[in-house]
Structures are given as structure tokens and as C-alpha cells.
Amino acid sequence: MTKPRSCPPAPGPLEAFAARFDDLFARVAQRRGFRAYLQGLLLPRDRNKTLTALVGAEPIVQAQAAAVQQVQWFLSESRWNAEAVNERRLSLLCADPATAPTDEGVLIIDDSGDRKSGSKTDHVGRQYLGSVGKIDNGVVVVTSVWADSQRYYPLHLCPYTPAARLPQGRSDPTFKTKPQIARDLVDQAREAGIPFAAIVADSFYGDHLEFEAGLHATGLPYVLAVKPSKGHWAPIEALHTPEEAAATLHWERAAAPGDWTPVARHFRDGHSEVWWAAELVFAHYGPDRPRRLVVVTTDPHALPATSTWYLVTNLPHPQATRAQETALSPADLAAITRLYGLRNWVEQSYKQQKEELGWADYMVRSDRAMRRHWQLVVCAFTFCWTAASTPAATEAAAPSASATAVARGEKPAARRAAPGQPHLAQRPAGRAELAGSLVARAPHLVWLDHGTPAR
């Protein structure tokens, strides 16, 4: 065997990250393409992260330029395994103490759709798209994300194919619903050795009886949202929905909460809020039963729709008899609130991947090329976490106000130079590398390049 040929290095810390994947690419052109694609995704978002933009070519006019065609070939035709790249990415995250998942975090299941015109692109069809909030022509991807109070990153993904695109429709052997795909992603996370305290998902998955029943039958912990109007068979005089059950709870005021228990929610930016939670007892739900239904809200009197959660879980109540009979960890109302509150990180993950890294900007049609693009996007996302957690990153530059804002999940304000304080490098660069400000401690470093120019 001969030693693999080296390729031009990527700038600064990106090269150390990319080099860990070199053995997964058999040819030097593939290793070069991997670096070029990641670098293009990480550059500031002056325009969409299309194939031409990734290599700095002019759209349409330079679409046939060699650099553009090389990126196109790497994405669509070159022989490399995107799943192997994702496995390596996850192994790097698990091996690093700064990013390793723990059983304090949650496994978030969600899906997201983006508009795509035409009908030639794989998986495209008229379906509900979360990014636009309505039914439109586009592509939907089911994803899994691991998150705790400090970290969050994607694990696995799988596009959903509408039944109308398959020869036999919903009867086609290859057709899978989104909850079925979600269950596959749960299994993949377990096979990868990802620990979690519970599986969390919104009401689309919580209202799906097959999905919840599958998790319950296998003994996997979960906290799933359900719609307040989800009905249950019962005598006409009994309670039928979670919102009817919540309306029967007694509440006077904060000093006399009645059936409600105060729970503190702590946010990453340091502030805390007091929410209120209560157990609902109706149908087959109750604190002493295999399934519990918990309502969490900011206002027990009004139960506002935008800040009230109805959560079904199989985690036992700490004082219930079954807490001693099951392998699941007991969870009080505060713990259930904390676990489901972590679901919001999946929205932050989408925001950063779509707005900055070009998740939906691909210009390819085949299933393989699309999956590769998404895997490269999550690789770029992971690089940001890796660079932010390394000692070299903190030595290169102290965290700025923008970095702190991003770490809290906020959009940083535009930078303004202080009087008499130049924003220029103190010395010339010794070699080609990313600017020092781009390796500050922040989960999404490209934000740091936004703001007013240096004087």
C-alpha cells in the first residue's frame, strides 16, 4: 500500500477537523472536495450557499466553471459514503469530553420542510412545510437532535417520501410515515450509543398512537406533547380532552396555587422563570398509572395556547408504587418540565443550519446528493462546536459579546467600534488560517463575522 497523497490544507482549525475524515475518502480529489465544501458552507452568508456560491463563482455565467463542476461531481457522482462520514462525526463528538452526550440530555425527534419547485427532485411533493407553516411544494426531512442545557447537535436524518411519488402509493413496500421514520432514528441513536434521559417530540408525534405505543412497549422513556383537544372515549358526563381536565384544576393565586405546583425554568442566558405544572387524572392517565399526563403553563388561570404544554410521559411519579417496579427513572413535575423544555433547541439548530449554513440551498436532484449535502451541513455545524470547545480556540480570542449572545441562542447585535479601539490584527498572520475572531467560544461561529467593518 502507498501513503495517501496529501491535498491542500483547509484554513486554520478547519484542517485539523477535516483531517479526521481523510481515511473515508479514497482519492485526493475527494479530500479536497470535502474541505472546499465545508469551507464554503462556513463562509459568511453573502448569498445562498448554492454550488456556484460555495466556490465563489458567478451564478449562471460561471455555472460550468471547473471549480463548480468539481463540487458538483463530489456531491453527486464521487464514490464516498455519507453514512460513514456521519458515524465518524458522532464518534468525534462522543470522544470529546466537551461535547460528549450524557444521560442528562434528551433525544429530540422533529421534522422540517423547505420549498422546492418542480417535480424532478427526489422526495419533493405537496405537503406540510414547517418553515412556511402551510402545505406547499417541497421536501421534508425527519431529524434527531441530542441536547442538554448547554449543548445541542444533530444526530441522524432521513427524508420523507410522499406516497404520491411511489408506484403503489401508501401500499408501496418502501413507504414509511414520518413517525415510522422517527422510530428508525431512535433505533439509530441507540445503536450509536447515545445516552438520553427521554425522547421528546411535539404533538405531531405525541398524538400518533403507534409511535407512542412503540416507545412504551419497548420501555424507552419519553415526554411527548399532545394537542389540548385530543379526545378519548369516555361516558358523556366524563372528561374527554386534556383541556377539559385542566379546566377542572383549582387555582386562586400564586400564594394559594391549589392543584398547581410552581416549577422553575432556568435558561441558558442566566435568567429564570416560574411556570406552573399539574397532574391530570382522567381516561387512562394518572400519577399512579403507566402513562401520566402533565399540563405545564405560565398562567394557570388563562392557560394561554402559546405557553401551555400538555405532555404525556411514561416516566413514573417519584411517590408512585410503580417507581419501584420499573427501570425508568422517576420524574417529578419539575423534571418533566425541564426535559420537554430542551426541545426548543431543535428550532435553534434549524435556524442556524438554514440561515447560515445553507441547509436548503442545494442545487441537486438525486436522493444521494441531497443526503450528502445535509451530512456536510451537519459536519460544518459540528466543526463550530469542536472549534469552540478546544483550548486553542479560547486562547486565540476571548469570547466577544456576539459570541456570548450566540451561545445563548440569541442573534447578536451589530458590532460598533469603541472610540480609539482599532479592530485590526496585532500582527501579520504566520500562515493561511481563519481569523482569530472566528474561533471564539460560540456554537455557531459565522455570526461573529457580521457587523460593522473594521476601521
List the single range of 47-51, 276-280, 421-425, 449-453 with lowest mean pLDDT: 449-453
The CA–CA distances, whole Å, from 224 to 191, 213, 219 equal 22, 12, 14
| Mean pLDDT over the full length of the chain | 85
CA 238 to chain centre: 40
Estimate the crossing angle of helix 367-389 against helix 28-42, to 10 degrees. 70
Name residues whose C-beta falls within 8 Å of residue 264's C-beta, 6 or more positions apart in sequence. Answer: 272, 273, 274, 275, 334
**pLDDT tens-digit map of 319-341:** 888 888 888 999 999 999 999 99
C-alpha cell at 334: 419539575
Q: pLDDT for 411-436, tens place per residue?
A: 444 444 444 444 455 555 555 444 44
Yes or no: say if 308 and 258 are a contact pair by the CB < 8 Å rule: no
Domain positions in the chain: 221-335
165: cell is: 411519488
What stretches of 49-189 adopt beta strand conformation (E)? 106-115, 125-129, 134-147, 152-160
Task: State residue 379's pLDDT score.
Answer: 97
Check residue 64 and give its pLDDT.
Answer: 87
Distance set, CA 355 to CA 45, 46, 195, 325, 361 (Å): 8, 11, 29, 47, 10
Find the farthest-apart pair of alpha carbons in the chain and give their distance in angstroms, rounded: 79
- The predicted-structure confidence for 218-231, as pLDDT tens digits, reads as follows 999 999 999 999 88
Share above pLDDT 70 across residues of the chain, in percent, rounded to a whole number: 85
All three cell numbers of 122, joined, read 427526489
Q: Whole-angstrom Cα distance, residue 50 to residue 37?
A: 10
Which H helix or E strand runs over 351?
helix 344-355
Q: Residue 399 pLDDT more than 50? A: no
* Residue bearing the bigger pLDDT, 452 or 251: 251
pTM for this predicted structure: 0.84
87-124 pLDDT, tens digit each: 999 999 999 999 999 999 999 999 999 999 888 999 99
Q: What is the mean pLDDT of residues 278-297?
A: 94
**Dist. CA 113–CA 132, nearest whole Å:** 8
Residue 392 has pLDDT above 80, yes or no: no
Residue 99 · residue 151 · CB < 8 Å: yes
For 184-220, what is each residue's pLDDT tens digit?
A: 999 999 999 999 999 999 999 999 999 999 999 999 9
